[in-house]
Amino acid sequence: MVHSGAMFDGLAVALITPFRNGAVDRQALERIAANVVEGGARALYPCGCTGEATSLTREERETVIRAVLAVAKERAAVVAGTGTAVTSETIELTEDAIRLGVDAVMVITPYSCKPTQEGLIAHYRAVADRVDRPVVLYNVPARTGVSLAPETVARLAEHPRIAAIKEASGSLDQASAIRARCDIAILAGDDSLYLPLLAVGARGVVSVAGHLVPGDIAAMGEHAKAGRFAEAESIHRKLGPLFRALFLETNPAPVKHALRRLGLATGELRLPLVPVRPETAALVDQALERAGVVATARSGR
């Protein structure tokens, strides 16, 4: 088990779920996970939005989590996404993940049903009361239709097992308001906001671009925390086009295209997600080249 204090610092990667002929491609997943750990990721997040979790069966989730745990071992924490729109199902998936040996779980705000803030509090407390691992709140209103208010986060942070929040609202003000009310660990949910969020008290990032440039993103965070802001900003500017390109269409379609281009996965998605349009693919390819990713992959390093 990785100490909870360390798993929320620096680079974490929200892993894709690679598919081959419609099934989970375990070999590709292990290869991708190993690459990002070797590149400096301190935590791996399988079965989240980037992992197309809503398309996975309970058995497939177990396959994915087992594969990631096999790679991570003592080198990186594993934080499995277990949240659904139903509290009882979320508890079942959370218990499954903990039985498999994850270090923590990430629970997205329930989608579709649009609970009130009191409903969100009841949901998260019901989950946290049933676990013996840290719980990461996941606030991504663009996907779920509901946002955790800073006051709600502060109330939830009083629970001894609610330890962090992946803040993907895209708002610096939201993160600042949370920081002003409690000391929960704040994790950037958007690569492009990682550096700005560090300035207002965030501790790490749950990254998509980390599939492709883990070393650069890890270094950016280390530079910022050491006060070397010019060096951190230089990396931020270099990677900016890649950060933007990976969200030109719904994640994970662009990053799956990039990983297919690099020969690391097939690029398959599950409906209703479809491959990126040709014009988006071209922009992702350009961003990869500007970030030096293609040259690195071709060199075999």
User: Would you please indicate which residues are annotated as catalytic (active-site) residues?
Assistant: 138, 166
Instruction: Return the percent helix, strand and coil in the chain, to nearest 5.
Output: 50, 15, 35
- Residue entry with tokens 């479809």: 274
Write the CA distances from 265 to 161, 227, 284, integer angstroms. 35, 37, 16
Tell me how far apart the alpha carbons of residues 66 and 102 are, in angstroms, rounded to a whole number.
9
Strand intervals (E) in the chain: 10-14, 19-20, 23-24, 43-45, 77-81, 104-108, 135-139, 162-167, 185-188, 204-207
- Residue entry with tokens 């986060």: 153
Tell me how far apart the alpha carbons of residues 293 and 172 are, in angstroms, rounded to a whole number.
29
Tell me how far apart the alpha carbons of residues 240 and 67 are, in angstroms, rounded to a whole number.
31
* Cβ contact 137:153 at 8 Å: yes
DSSP H stretches of helix in 39-131: 58-72, 87-100, 117-128
